[in-house]
């Protein structure tokens, strides 16, 4: 699915945005500063955009890419005055929406941050850009598959922010993960992500008493973070809740726990927006025959991550029936076993 195709208490807990015209540390080699003029507000401003291809190092089961930087932060350009968004190559072009229409569609930003006077959308989070894109596309009566795609990218933007390496809890993550043993990935296990292999290894070790010296809160947060990093929301939420009941947490551990909890709920909210649009797109036969299997698999994955295992099973079976070679049958079988097992992970 390409680009064509919150909770108030949680908002303050998420990482600070890059800032108006800013760039995250370590991202400089991949981006360039370009000048734009908004077709809505007439505002002239500069924004960082991707200047070269940034390959993904791995993918989640729902095909969310994990590049060396969060490329989704720089995929869309946002007008800091109106909140209008578009791809860099399309941004300066005409739009059918005027200032009043954009204001009506987007309303005010839901995420608090310090912004210059008259520029409420300055320093917008990546997920805000994609949320705005989804709302604008819906207002323009774009295909449901396109609207759904923007909501999915909004969800992925939240997920990739967790592993961006630019959050204030990163040092605590390094401490917790560093206290647990590592192991090499099993090259024969083609369909289990390394983080999930590591989780299985730790649980097996703890079951046999090898990790009993690790504090319960550290162990719980380590598993929560690994599951969260791959968008495994059901599992991540379970371990976050376990950490909360493990006893008093240090300030840094509590900050990490709250961040994980809030980011899980935010990603969930975007996935919940994507599902009905994808279903409408499916019913309207918007997906080409060659992509139907992938679309059904995506719907299955989203439902699994939201905990609706019955719906996930139906869509995995639909993905198997509609598969034109785009998805490994072994992967479909693997994910079906997860939902048949009753936990979803």
- pLDDT computed for residue 332 by the predictor: 97
Centre a 10 Å sphere on the Cβ of residue 110 and count the other Cβ atoms it contains: 11
> Looking at the predicted structure, is the pLDDT value of residue 1 above 90?
no
Give percent above pLDDT 70 in the chain.
94
Confidence of residue 113 (pLDDT cuts 50, 70, 90): confident
Average pLDDT score over residue span 197-223: 95
- pLDDT computed for residue 2 by the predictor: 37
Tokens standing for 80?
A: 């800091």
Q: What is the mean pLDDT of the chain?
A: 92
DSSP 233-296: HHHHHHHHHHHHTSSPPPHHHHHHHHHHHHHHHHHHHHHHHHHHHHHHHHHTT-S-HHHHHHHH
Average pLDDT score over residue span 132-142: 98
pLDDT, tens digit, 9 for 90 and up, residues 234-258: 999 999 999 999 888 999 999 999 9
DSSP 339: H
Residue with the bigger pLDDT between 122 and 5: it is 122
Please report, for the chain, the start and end positions of each structural domain, with discontinuous segments joined by +: 8-162
Rounded Cα gap, residues 145 and 324, in angstroms? 19
pLDDT, tens digit, 9 for 90 and up, residues 283-329: 999 999 999 999 999 999 999 999 999 999 999 999 999 999 999 99
Average pLDDT score over residue span 164-183: 93
Confidence of residue 3 (pLDDT cuts 50, 70, 90): very low
- pLDDT computed for residue 117 by the predictor: 94
Average pLDDT score over residue span 18-28: 67
Please give the distance of CA 256 from its chain centroid, rounded to a whole number.
17
Confidence of residue 15 (pLDDT cuts 50, 70, 90): very low
pLDDT, tens digit, 9 for 90 and up, residues 77-109: 999 999 999 999 999 999 999 999 999 999 999
């Amino acid at each position: 699915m390409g680009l064509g195709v919150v909770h108030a208490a949680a908002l303050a807990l998420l990482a600070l945005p890059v800032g108006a015209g800013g760039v995250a540390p370590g991202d400089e080699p991949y981006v360039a500063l370009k000048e734009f003029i908004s077709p809505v507000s007439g505002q002239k401003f500069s924004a960082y955009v991707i200047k070269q291809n940034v390959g993904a190092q791995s993918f989640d089961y729902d095909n969310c890419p994990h590049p060396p930087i969060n490329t989704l932060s720089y995929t869309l350009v946002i007008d800091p005055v109106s909140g209008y968004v578009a791809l860099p190559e399309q941004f300066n072009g005409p739009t059918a929406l005027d200032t009043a229409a954009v204001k009506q569609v987007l309303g005010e930003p839901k995420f608090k941050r310090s912004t210059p006077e008259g520029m409420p959308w300055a320093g917008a989070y990546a997920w805000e850009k994609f949320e705005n894109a989804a709302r604008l596309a819906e207002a323009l009566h774009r295909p449901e598959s396109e609207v759904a795609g923007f909501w999915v990218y909004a969800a992925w933007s939240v997920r990739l922010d967790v592993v961006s390496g630019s959050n204030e809890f990163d040092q605590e993550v390094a401490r917790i993960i560093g206290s647990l043993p590592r192991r090499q990935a099993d090259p024969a296990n083609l369909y289990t992500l390394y983080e999930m292999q590591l989780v299985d290894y730790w649980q097996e070790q703890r079951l046999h008493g090898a990790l009993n010296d690790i504090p319960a809160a550290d162990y719980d947060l380590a598993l929560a973070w690994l599951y969260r990093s791959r968008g495994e929301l059901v599992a991540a939420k379970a371990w976050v809740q376990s950490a909360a009941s493990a006893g008093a947490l240090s300030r840094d551990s509590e900050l990490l726990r709250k961040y994980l909890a809030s980011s899980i709920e935010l990603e969930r909210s975007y996935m919940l927006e994507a599902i009905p649009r994808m279903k409408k797109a499916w019913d309207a036969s918007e997906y080409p025959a060659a992509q139907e299997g992938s679309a059904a698999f995506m719907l299955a994955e989203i439902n699994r991550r939201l905990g609706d295992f019955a719906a996930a099973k139906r869509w995995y079976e639909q993905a198997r029936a509609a598969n034109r070679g785009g998805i490994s049958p072994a992967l479909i079988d693997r994910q079906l076993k997860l939902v048949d097992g009753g936990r979803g992970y």
